[in-house]
Every structure is written in structure tokens, then in C-alpha cells.
Amino acid sequence: MRPLAVADLNPAVLNVQYAVRGELAIKADELNERLRSQEHRDKLPFSKVISSNIGNPQQKGLDQPPITFTRQTSNPADRASPALCSQCHSDGSKARDSVSYSITEGCFTLYARNMIEGLVVLTCVAALMEYPPLIDIVKDKWPSDVIERAQQLQAEIGSIGAYSHSKGIPLIRKHVAQFIEERDGFPSDPEDIFLTAGASAGVSLLLNVLITPHKTGILIPIPQYPLYTATLAQYSGVPLPYHLSETDGWSTSLEEIRAALTKAEADGTGVLPRALVVINPGNPTGALLDEKTMEELVWLCEEHSLVLLADEVYQDNLHRRAAHPFHSFKQTVRRLRSPVPLISFHSISKGVFGECGRRGGYFECCNVAPDVRALLYKMVSVGLCPPLSGQIGVDCLVRPPRAGEPSHARWKAETDAIHAALAQRTALMAARLNALPGVSCVDSPGALYLYPKLELPAGAVEAARKAGKEADTLYALELLEETGICVVPGSGFGQKEGEHHYRLTCLCPGVEEYVGMLEKFHVGFLKRYGSSA
């Protein structure tokens, strides 16, 4: 028997890189393990790991202190006037008693409390779906719209333990289509909607279907969310990178895309550009596209017969809505009466929902021929169906309580407060980062991240080279080891030769304390590697 070696495996899979959960995240796991034992804990210069590498709003905050916006967490100082659960009117004090972490910042307390309450409609609907007899127990305690919602879903779905239609529950797809119609002012057909296990599953499916190995080029922004490069590697697609303009707030430039197309043609490798990936709001940049650029992008897709893949999972994370609103590509394509095939992705993992663990999302096909759609249906059938828990999440995402319904006023107040808190935190973090020597940071108008640029001392670049690492990876590793803060080096997202960035989420406990740690580390790093930059 010859043992199975890595060299025996699919070379495409070997090429996959996924930095969000790569070297840094594995190191963070190890540190978390060490924090669990008294002996090792005492040797570490921090008491908790803060996973700023991933936009995971509900990450756990109990035996490990809370990193971000968890539902079970609140400010102990707030206990004198506990926030009553809007549904069952309990004050959640049981959950709080087990929380030892002290929160030092008002807006986080607000955010955390809002996360507890703002999501109660979903958790209540979901709990009733798990165990229908609960309706009898809670029907006098919970608002009537929650009960009605759960009963309607139960009548349609039956047991959440059964496989659903492979494209997702028809009634929920109808609700998604209604949501899209109301958002855009153009019709949407439930048959064009596919529910998925998060947006990632949809992106992976579409890339698998569009890519003929080694022959298909996919235009991707740089920096990009590494799902795209990872999946391109997995399916042997050819990335055709186009750079976003950092000096112009990470704007998208048509010239960059045209240059990438020209370069692909000039290469003489016969690679055929097939699709354009646009992430709007951007990840990791947080940039928002204006309508004029969107129109130009659609026309460019027409000109080059490209499929437009619109990753719009952060469409509800807008920090300055008036100046930087969100427009969907579906609306743009319909308004222009364009024939461009468009796939738009959305998710329950982001926005004010942050319901990452349910794995829910959807994509909508627009201008996609029935036989191509049938092929997508065949492919999702092999995976049977998306998780019902995620599908129910999608239903709650696209049907928030409406004005006049019992849950509406509270829902509105809570979600408004969540948006305000995230906007405030993002602006504060950007301002503080920009004040550091050798750091410049676009103040993102959307999404959950900042992507600061670092001018690193030559000594650090040289030390990294000797260690066989990128300089920003060295920076991120030392940050993790010194402070417990886990970020993702820019090399995972892509950047120009010689540039250095990192991505950090704007989800964190105690922004003052957190930014203070970042600042202290940064100044020490510059000193250590011989620069006063």
C-alpha cells in the first residue's frame, strides 16, 4: 500500500488559497486552545482572541469573552434597567449572569442589546418552526404577527426535517421575488430565484457552471473577497484581475476592466472572458458603486458578451445612505432594458441579520435562458436542498415586519440603531487608523470592514522575506501574537506589487480599547523594525 500523499490529489485543489480562514485563523485557533489552559494562558500577553478576520456578527461571547455582537451579551452596568425582550418580556438576565466580559462602550451595548431584540422575530419564528406545539405555550405572550408568520410557514413547509424543493420552498421564493420587486420597481419571477446555503454556495455553483477548465476567464476586482480566487482555482478558471482605485475611495474604473480584457486577448492563450464579478458594496473595500458606473459596467458586459455576477450581500450595510445609496444591478439592467445575463447574490449572513450559522441566501437569475436555468436546477438537485433553517432565515430577511404590524415599531427602532452604531464605529476606526504614522484608510461607506494601507519599514519587509512570508502577513501574525486581534493580510485579497494592507471587521467589543491595542501595536512594530515613519 502506497500512502495517499498530497501530490496524488487534484492539482486544482492544491492551488486553492483562502486567507480569511488561512494561516492567521489557524494560529488564532491555537491561541484560543492555549487560552483554555491556565498554564499556557499566563504566558500570553492577552486574555482573549478577537476574530476580526471574519464578518461573523453573532460570534460567541461566553466562555471566551464576546468578540462582537452576540445576542446573549449585554452591559452589566445596564442591568439596573434591563431591556425587556420585546416578545416574551423576559429581561434575559439569566444569559447575562454567565457573561464576565465587561463592555466599556455605549454604542456596543446598544448594538448588542439591539441584536438580542432585533432578531427576536426571527428566533421566535424559527423556534416555532422547530417545535410547532410551542405555539400553544407562547401564543398569549408573543405578538400575533410572529405567530401568524410561523403558522403560515408551517402550513407551507410541514416539517423542517424534510428535504424541500431543491431551489428552495416555493412560497419563500415568491416572497424573495416580492422583496426584489419592491426594492427595484421591476418584476421578479420566483422561478428565477434559487435559495442557497449562504451566498458562497451560489457563487461556487455559478463559477463551476460557467468555467470550462483552463479556458474561461473571469474578471475579478482586486482587492476581492478570496472566495472568488479560491473557487476559480478549484474549478481551474483563469482570473482576469482589474484593480480598484484606492486613491478614489476604491472606485471601479472601466479603463482597468478594458485593460484586463485587452491583456487577456493579447496573451494568446485562447482564454475566453466569460463573466465580470462585481462586489457592491465592496468586500474588503466597503465602496459603493454609483448609478453611472453601474450603467457603464452593464454596457461593457453587453459589448463583450459577459455574464454579470453581482455580489450584493452587503446591500443593507450602508453607513451614509444619503451620499452613498445602494442600487441593485437588477434594477440597472432592467432600467436599461439590457439583455446582459445577470446573477445577483444575497445572504442572511450580513446586514443587520448576521445569521451566518444558518447558512441561508439566494441568487436571482435575470436574462438567463430557461435551458441554462434548468441546468442550474439540475446541479442544485444533486445537493438535494439548502438547509431549511437558512431558508426560514431568508423569509424573515425579505419580509421584515411592516408598518401597522405589532412587531414593526420595535423592529424599526432596533434596526435603525444597529445601522447607526455600525456607521459610528466604522467612522471612528477609520479616523483613528488614519491618524497613525504610515497608515491610510478609506473610510468605507458600506459593508462591515476597513482595508487600511500600511507603509511598512524596509526592515519589516526584509524580515518577512527571510521568513518566507509577505510583509503584511508578518504584521498580522505579530498583531495576533501581541494583542489577540486576528485580521487578514492584504495578500489574501490582492493588492498592487509592493503594497501592504490588512482587512479588519468593524465588529468588535469595546472599540476604544480595541483601537487602542491596534495603535500601541502599530507604533511598537514600526519601532521594532527601525522606522519612525
Contacting a second copy within 285-344 (CB under 8 A):
301-303, 305, 307, 338-341
Query: Cell for 226?
Result: 478570496
Query: Cell for 224?
Result: 476581492
Is 468 one of the binding residues for a second copy (CB under 8 A)?
A: no
Which position among 42, 45, 81, 163 is part of the footprint of a second copy (CB under 8 A)?
Answer: 163
Q: 3-state class of 308 per DSSP?
A: strand
Contact 319, 426 (CB under 8 A): yes
Residue closer to a second copy by CB (options 7, 403) is: 7
Shortest CB 129 distance to a second copy, Å: 8
Q: 3-state class of 71 per DSSP?
A: coil
Which position among 311, 355, 395, 470 is part of the footprint of a second copy (CB under 8 A)?
Answer: 355
177-196 positions binding a second copy, by CB under 8 A = none
Is 84 one of the binding residues for a second copy (CB under 8 A)?
A: no
Which position among 112, 211, 232, 487 is part of the footprint of a second copy (CB under 8 A)?
Answer: 211
Binding mask 44-83 for a second copy (x = CB under 8 A): ----------x-xxxxxxxx------xxx-----------
Which position among 162, 266, 322, 323 is part of the footprint of a second copy (CB under 8 A)?
Answer: 162
Pairing, β 307-311 against β 272-279:
parallel
Helical H segments across 44-143, by residue range: 93-97, 106-118, 120-130, 134-138
Which position among 76, 357, 406, 420 is part of the footprint of a second copy (CB under 8 A)?
Answer: 357
Which position among 230, 479, 511, 515 is part of the footprint of a second copy (CB under 8 A)?
Answer: 230
Is 241 one of the binding residues for a second copy (CB under 8 A)?
A: no
Shortest CB 69 distance to a second copy, Å: 9
d(CA 226, CA 234): 12
Amino acid at 286: G
Shortest CB 56 distance to a second copy, Å: 5
Binding mask 425-464 for a second copy (x = CB under 8 A): ----------------------------------------
Cis? peptide before 223, omega within 30° of 0:
yes
Burial environment of residue 8 by CB neighbours within 10 A (0 to 12, 13 to 18, 19 or more): exposed
∠ Cα 85 87 89 (to 5°) = 50
Which position among 196, 231, 473, 491 is part of the footprint of a second copy (CB under 8 A)?
Answer: 231
With contacts defined by CB under 8 A, how many residues of the chain interact with a second copy? 121
If you search the block for the grid coordinates 482572541, which residue do you land on? Answer: 49
Is 254 one of the binding residues for a second copy (CB under 8 A)?
A: no
Query: Cell for 288?
Result: 459603493
Which position among 106, 213, 325, 530 is part of the footprint of a second copy (CB under 8 A)?
Answer: 213
Residue closer to a second copy by CB (options 133, 498) is: 133
Enumerate the β-bridge partners of residue 489.
Answer: 502
d(CA 1, CA 3): 6
Is 270 one of the binding residues for a second copy (CB under 8 A)?
A: no
If you search the block for the grid coordinates 442589546, which residue do you land on? Answer: 113
Shortest CB 19 distance to a second copy, Å: 10
Which position among 111, 179, 235, 514 is part of the footprint of a second copy (CB under 8 A)?
Answer: 235
Is 508 one of the binding residues for a second copy (CB under 8 A)?
A: no
Contact 514, 485 (CB under 8 A): yes
118-137 positions binding a second copy, by CB under 8 A = 119-120, 123-124, 126-127, 130-137
Residue closer to a second copy by CB (options 180, 356) is: 356
Residue closer to a second copy by CB (options 297, 307) is: 307
Binding mask 6-45 for a second copy (x = CB under 8 A): x-xxxxxxx-x-x-xxx--x---x----------------
Shortest CB 387 distance to a second copy, Å: 4
Q: 3-state class of 505 per DSSP?
A: strand
Give the residue among 313, 516, 291, 315 at the shortest CA–CA distance from 419.
315
Phi then psi for residue 255, to 5 deg, are -65, -40
Residue closer to a second copy by CB (options 198, 438) is: 198
Binding mask 85-124 for a second copy (x = CB under 8 A): x--x-x-x-xx--x--------------------xx--xx
Shortest CB 135 distance to a second copy, Å: 7
**Contact region for a second copy (CB under 8 A) — 154-162, 439-447, 453-461, 515-523?**
154-162
The DSSP-derived string for 211-270 is PPTTTEEEEEEES--THHHHHHHHTT-EEEEEE-BGGGTSB--HHHHHHHHHHHHHT-S-
377-406 positions binding a second copy, by CB under 8 A = 378-379, 381-390
d(CA 394, CA 294): 26
The DSSP-derived string for 274-309 is EEEEEESS-TTT-----HHHHHHHHHHHHHTTPEEE
Residue closer to a second copy by CB (options 191, 499) is: 191
Query: Cell for 101?
Result: 466580559
Is 144 one of the binding residues for a second copy (CB under 8 A)?
A: no
d(CA 354, CA 361): 12
d(CA 408, CA 410): 6
Residue closer to a second copy by CB (options 173, 500) is: 173
Shortest CB 179 distance to a second copy, Å: 20
Q: How far is CA 426 from CA 224, 421, 440, 492, 509, in A?
A: 20, 9, 14, 22, 13
Give the residue among 239, 195, 200 at the shortest CA–CA distance from 216.
239
Instruction: Residue count of the chain, please give it.
Output: 533
Is 204 one of the binding residues for a second copy (CB under 8 A)?
A: yes
Which position among 155, 266, 322, 403 is part of the footprint of a second copy (CB under 8 A)?
Answer: 155
Is 166 one of the binding residues for a second copy (CB under 8 A)?
A: yes
